[in-house]
Amino acid sequence: MNNINSQLALDPQYEVSFITNSFDNNQINYTDSAGGKHTFQNREQFVQFLQEQGIKIDVVHAHSWHLSDHYKPFHTGKDSMDLSTFLKELGSPKFIYTNHSNPTEDLRKIQKFHGNLDYSQLSESEKHKFLQANRLDSFGSSYDWQPRWEATTILCKEQIMKLADAITYVSATQMHEEEQMIPYYSFGHKAEVIMNGVDIGKYNTPETHARAAELREELGIGRDEKVVLYAGRMDEEKGIYELATASERLSEAGEKITLVYLGTNGDEFIKQTIRTAAPDVDILFPERISREERQKMAAMYAMADVVAQPTWGECFNQIIAEALAMGTPAVVSDYSAPGEIYVKPGAALGSQVRNPEDLAEKLSLLLNEESVRASITGKGKELIDRHLNVESMGRQYMNLYATLTKNN
């Protein structure tokens, strides 16, 4: 959203404001186009404010399914105004929904919480019945929300897609996978793919590379150590344990590896499991880098010899794009959207999902074969320059806005 805003800010015809909901109390936070901040207890108050101020909204661009009425039971339920009415009260602006969800993760969670159920193999009518039986608002007095979370997210997306004038996905793979998740999917005529754009490449400067050298020293990484960096959530489905096992294989083969996990929500149990899987590898868990520390994050990418993302499935994977923008080669699972976006054009090496031996082989290639590194780095730069940059993404969204509002 911030990257889209950075492009819209360059065109004086656009005024951009932000609406966010507090997860805990359903409070609406509104930042107007001049940067002023306002707070409202519900949608009615917000609509009244806009009408009193004479603020007209031409386009609502939603990046979250939390707007949906199906999500309200998990919230406080304070909003009596449903989504359809809310949009009408806003003046019926053009409504765009960008889907950032991960269908492969949804399938895994459904299987986990519903007796190994393979949702993808259900008929359309069976999918519909399953979703209706597992809505969050059907749990009654038993607050067992986890088995109903994925079903509710699918219902939320379905409602929003029905109301939307346009739907965008961040990869073609995600779009095709989502078609299988929503029963009787009928939104293809208003859907298109606009991949994410990254701006971290602007930090690919001598100053950032000098900072990378400082980080290496601060973290106590020896000059002859090769750095493999993982960034992202410290969840099993991100392949964090396979990465540890693969690094141990490299260490056993004589590689001097420092494995850096720059992760979020990593508790001590996760860290200890990683250490146990790679007892002969130097493993570091540096402090999380905030979103505001973009140059430091860029320096982390620059410090690494390889960035690894052995995910079990993703809708895009922003980390790989950012690593490529900084000129650092990457290994990613040759599966789901990363396979489409990065592996197929040769911008990253692809490894088999949940296969530490294959992952170790691919890491070794990037760490030791200069011709492979050069090829991956060159194609990665080409991918960023042509497609995965904020300018390209911004142009595509501005074209979409213009198309939707041309008759207004």
| pLDDT given for residue 142 in this prediction | 53
For residue 289, the 8-state DSSP code is: P
CA distance 367 to 226: 7
* Strand 306-309 relative to strand 226-233, pairing: parallel
Could you give the angle at the alpha carbon of 49 between the alpha carbons of 43 and 54, nearest 5°? 125
Nearest to 263 by CA among 232, 298, 284, 294: 232
For residue 280, the 8-state DSSP code is: T
CA distance 102 to 22: 23
Q: What is the pLDDT along the chain (408 residues), one digit of tens a residue?
A: 888 988 998 899 999 999 987 666 668 899 999 999 999 988 999 999 999 999 999 999 999 998 898 887 665 556 789 999 999 999 999 999 999 999 999 999 999 999 999 999 999 999 999 999 998 876 654 567 888 899 999 999 999 999 999 999 999 999 999 999 999 999 999 999 999 999 999 999 999 999 999 999 999 999 899 999 999 999 999 999 999 999 999 999 999 999 999 987 779 999 999 999 999 999 999 998 987 899 999 999 999 999 999 999 999 999 999 999 999 999 999 999 999 999 999 999 999 999 999 999 999 999 999 999 999 999 999 999 999 999 999 999 999 999 999 866
Mark out the alpha helices in 54-135 (DSSP H runs). 83-89, 103-113, 124-133
Helix, strand, or coil (residue 104): helix
Architecture of domain 200-388: 3-Layer(aba) Sandwich (3.40)
> In Å, how far are 138, 250, 252, 359 from 256, measured between CA atoms?
54, 8, 9, 16
Could you give the angle at the alpha carbon of 29 between the alpha carbons of 27 and 30, nearest 5°? 145
Helix, strand, or coil (residue 402): helix
Dihedral sign of CA atoms 39, 44, 46, 51 in order = negative
Six-digit token string for 73: 């039971």
| pLDDT given for residue 264 in this prediction | 79
| pLDDT given for residue 72 in this prediction | 73
Q: Are 71 and 60 in contact (CB under 8 A)?
A: no
Sort 332 into a burial class: Cβ within 10 Å, 0-12 / 13-18 / 19+: buried
| pLDDT given for residue 140 in this prediction | 55
Give percent of the chain above pLDDT 90: 83
Q: Are 359 and 331 in contact (CB under 8 A)?
A: yes
Instruction: Number of helices (H) and strands (E) in the chain: give both, helices first.
Output: 16, 13
Looking at CATH, the fold of the domain delimited by 2-197+391-405 is given as Rossmann fold (3.40.50)
CA distance 198 to 387: 10
| pLDDT given for residue 80 in this prediction | 83
Six-digit token string for 280: 């002969």
Sequence ranges of the domains in the chain: 2-197+391-405, 200-388
| pLDDT given for residue 314 in this prediction | 94
CA distance 130 to 117: 11
CA distance 39 to 367: 51
| pLDDT given for residue 145 in this prediction | 80
Q: Are 259 and 360 in contact (CB under 8 A)?
A: no
Hey, do 2-197+391-405 and 200-388 end up sharing a CATH topology, with the first three levels equal?
yes
In the chain, what are the helix, strand and coil shares in percent, each to the nearest 5? 50, 15, 35
